[in-house]
Chain A
Amino acid sequence: MINSSTILIKQGRQRRFRKWLVINILLAALAVGLCMAMLLLGNTIYPISEVIQVLMGERIPGAYFAVNTIRLPRMIAGLFAGLAFGMGGHIFQTMLRNPLANPDVLGITTGSSAAALFSILILQTSTTVVSLASVIAGLVTVLLIYLLSSGSHFSIGRLILIGIGIQAALGAVISYLLMVGSQQDLPAALRWLSGSLNGAKMETLLPLICTVVIFAPVLIILGKHLDILELGEESALSLGLSTNKIRLILILSAVLMIAFATATTGPIAFVAFLSGPIAKRLVGTGFSNVLPAGLIGINLVLGADLIGQFAFEVRYPVGIITGLVGAPYLLYLLIRMNRKGYL
């Protein structure tokens, strides 16, 4: 007997999967569209055929320089950083079961920025060292927050509060560095305050690309495990998940992706914070949201960069635009959580 309950369960599940699939395809299509726009738009708008020819390796005067040297690296930087921020943020938020638990609020990106500024303004080192310092600082900040917040009993509230505290302290360090730094270094320093895709170069993108290519698949594959972890430590253990091992892999992958993204583009505000919740709102909770969160991250960064470049008289860096979108959402979330009694 194929009874009605089988059909009810199956149809519901299949319907949710179709929704998941369709939204992913739409998000991917939108991302492709935005990538195209990143290549086509600029001071001079070259025809698509010419852009494609340039991408195939033809050296068309003018177009070759604009597309290959400026627009393509910019697009790739946005693509990979967006994916890294989106997925990384979602991992933290899901694992800690709190939308506030993301790299922006926890101060991880601020740690990277402070180290980068220190290298630029005080040590006056090369860009490679700056990137390296920012990656290491991001990892150290995570470790510091984790150690400070791991008392006898792990508490997410404590983790977030300590993160905010560390962020405030790092903010003070950044202000100090900006005051003592010399004028001529300031332009290079400023992009570390609000993320920007300006001046992305192919050769500096390689570390970010490699990190994402290695760790994004890890996160997608472990999406199911992440969802089990979300049920809480006890349920996860009883379902046979090696919680400590999986948590470690997830945190390391997410932090590395975020740290390398920050080292490449600077902290693009709120992308890590917004992507996960947007994915959840669009897709629901039945299937892993790691991939949709990554795709939304890409769309946010590329979309915001296009708006920053072309919507106003002045060109604004991408981080300013995402900040404008993200800040009200943070307030909304705080108010909502307060009403529900989570804070």
Chain B
Amino acid sequence: MMKSTHKLQTEQIVAGYESKKILHGIDVVIPNNQINVIIGPNACGKSTLLKTMARLIKPIAGDVILDGKSIHKIPPKKLAKVLGVLPQSPIAPEGISVADLVGRGRFPHQSLLSGWSEKDYQAVEEAMDMMGITELANRHLDELSGGQRQRVWIAMALAQQTDILFLDEPTTFLDITYQVEILDLLTDLNRKYGTTIVMVLHDINLAARYADYIFALRKGELIAEGRPSEIITDELIKEIFELNCTVIEDPVSKSPMIIPRGRYHVCS
């Protein structure tokens, strides 16, 4: 496994609008070569935090520091070789073929007029191979299923060959089968290349199973961070989601698993 040596951290990030701030001063250091997951209820700012770290949003105050330098002071193309992002709802041009779309991930590696180099072909092939979509290379994206499409988008981000990859809710809108498949593929990526992954996930149990490290947010503040087995407790879930629950051990992965308690169907 290759080890990337980048250091990404935030310093007192405040983000949102002047009138309505979403993040109120967040300090995190992203552990390297790990799968990091941000969890929290709707509108807690988890997506905003991810986008700010991925330079899609400029913070109102504070900064995001990569290897000792503000990401907003690093030339965009150079930064794009280190930080890759899969947005929540990326937009595909009508009628584009899978290979061409994956190839667009090579943009930061290409010069103004050059076509695809051998390296570009190699990167595209590797990314498509990893995502298991090579046979779809010359198909149109419009013809694919939701799960296949998501793999194409991840392949595009992989073709960018960055050491750090951000994903904003990569499993939303997907069936449970595809959710697990996508998370497995991302784990493959992390194990094989040591890619640092930072993603937002909705499902706490999948997050607890797949994450090496979790950041828990509530109302724009960081409430807890750490290994899932250390921090996922019924108290934390109560504090963050305002939900009563029992935490048990996931019989498959031995990671913590929450069982929610509603007002009904609770035996004594």
Given contacts A221-B113, A224-B107, A231-B90, A241 and B125 within 8 Å (CB-CB): no
Q: Which residues of A (237-288) have their CB < 8 Å from a CB of B?
A: 237-242, 280, 284-286
A152 to B16, CA, bound (A): 12
Chain B residue with the shortest CB-CB distance to A233: B56
Tell me the minimal C-beta distance from A223 to chain B in angstroms.
10
Residue of A12, A231, A238, A285 touching B84 (CB-CB under 8 A): A238
Tell me the minimal C-beta distance from B87 to chain A in angstroms.
4
Chain A residue with the shortest CB-CB distance to B76: A240
Indicate if B260 sits at the interface (CB-CB under 8 A): no
A295 to B77, CA, bound (A): 32
Interface-lining segment among B1-9, B92-100, B183-191, B218-226: B92-100
Q: Which residues of A (152-172) have their CB < 8 Å from a CB of B?
A: 152
Asked if residues A235 and B91 are in contact (CB atoms below 8 Å), the reply is: yes
B96 cross-chain contacts in A, Cβ below 8 A: 284-286
Indicate if A8 sits at the interface (CB-CB under 8 A): yes
Sample of 21 A–B contacts (CB below 8 Å): A5-B129, A5-B137, A10-B121, A12-B97, A13-B100, A16-B97, A224-B107, A224-B110, A227-B93, A232-B91, A233-B56, A235-B87, A239-B107, A239-B108, A240-B76, A240-B79, A240-B80, A240-B81, A240-B108, A241-B76, A285-B96
Indicate if A313 sits at the interface (CB-CB under 8 A): no
Asked if residues A239 and B56 are in contact (CB atoms below 8 Å), the reply is: no
When each residue 63-106 of chain B gets 1 if its CB lies under 8 Å from chain A and 0 otherwise, what string results?
00000000000001111110111010011111111011001110
Which 4 A-B residue pairs are closest in the complex by CB-CB distance?
A240-B80, A238-B85, A12-B138, A234-B87
Chain B interface residue count, CB cutoff 8 Å, equals 47
Chain B residue with the shortest CB-CB distance to A15: B138
Tell me the minimal C-beta distance from A72 to chain B in angstroms.
33
Asked if residues B128 and A5 are in contact (CB atoms below 8 Å), the reply is: yes
Q: Which residues of A (203-230) have their CB < 8 Å from a CB of B?
A: 221, 224, 227-228, 230
When each residue 112-153 of chain B gets 1 if its CB lies under 8 Å from chain A and 0 otherwise, what string results?
110110000100110011000011011000000000000000
Tell me the minimal C-beta distance from A244 to chain B in angstroms.
11
Asked if residues B80 and A239 are in contact (CB atoms below 8 Å), the reply is: yes
B56 cross-chain contacts in A, Cβ below 8 A: 233-234, 237-238
Residue of B81, B84, B97, B107 touching A241 (CB-CB under 8 A): B107
Chain A residue with the shortest CB-CB distance to B112: A221
| B contact set with A: CB distance below 8 Å | 17, 51, 54-56, 76-81, 83-85, 87, 90-97, 99-100, 103-105, 107-108, 110, 112-113, 115-116, 121, 124-125, 128-129, 134-135, 137-138, 157, 160, 166
Tell me the minimal C-beta distance from B83 to chain A in angstroms.
7
Given pairs A9-B134, A228-B104, A285-B94, 10 additional interface contacts (CB within 8 A): A9-B124, A230-B93, A234-B56, A238-B54, A238-B87, A238-B157, A239-B105, A240-B77, A240-B78, A241-B107
A231 to B141, CA, bound (A): 13
Asked if residues A5 and B134 are in contact (CB atoms below 8 Å), the reply is: yes
A284 cross-chain contacts in B, Cβ below 8 A: 95-97
Given contacts A5-B129, A224-B107, A234 and B85 within 8 Å (CB-CB): yes
